[in-house]
Amino acid sequence: MKNLFFVSALIIIFSGTSLSARAQKRAAASKNELGTSVNTPIRFIEGIELSRTIEPSSVISSEKESTGVALPVGHNEIEQVNSVQFKYAQLLNRNVESASNLPLYNFIDDWWETRYRYGGTNKSGIDCSAFAGLLLKQVYTKEIPRTAKEQFTACEKLDRSVLNEGDLVFFNTRGGVSHVGVYLGDGYFVHASTGNGVTINNLDDDYYSARFLGGGKVLASTADTVANRGL
């Protein structure tokens, strides 16, 4: 009986040790699948954890395989996202996917922080109306008059509540219509400011909200007239 009891005890101890070893192996494998034991730095994009091996321009389609957690609805795929989209999505406080007008953001980025110069029309210095006119021409193929006052006169007047991307926004900064920007949505507009050059501000900013005159949409007839005059 003593021998039988001793043999039984050895079997139980051996079995427990084997089960413990198998459990540790499973835990390690599971840990590797989730990526928590891999020494790869993690960065965050819109609340989604991605390894550095995934470039912004790649397609993110896995939900649990790469992150270990299910992604929110609408975030399981981000296609052809680049650094310009990330930059302006952050500046405009919106999702990366909604920053989809790459010609617009590439144009802004190309002119970003170009200094203000009254009467200027190039990278050595540009004023607000020249910048607005150049943006509308290159991004939206619309031509408008040269000065802010002429642009205001040539536009269909719009209330702020109905402004769309690509509309103009006008301000009284030194008497009458004296400043213009291009609306980007959600209250944001891009313009050539006297202090910071080409930059983005919001209509709710104290300075601009106090001086906002209204918005304007370039009429097709206006664009045709300007084009025919070669202005």
Q: How far apart are the first and last CA of the chain?
A: 110
From 116, 129, 145, 191, active-site residue: 191
Q: Which H helix or E strand runs over 156?
A: strand 155-158
Has 75 been annotated as catalytic?
no
Contact predicate 65/49, CB 8 Å:
no
Has 191 been annotated as catalytic?
yes
- DSSP SS3 for 182: strand
The b-or-e profile of 8-35 (16+ CB within 10 A means b, else e) is eeeeeeeeeeeeeeeeeeeeeeeeeeee
From 130, 154, 179, 208, active-site residue: 179
From 128, 135, 190, 226, active-site residue: 128
What residues contact residue 202 under an 8 Å CB cut-off, 6+ apart?
A: 187, 188, 189, 208
Which residues are the active-site residues? 128, 179, 191
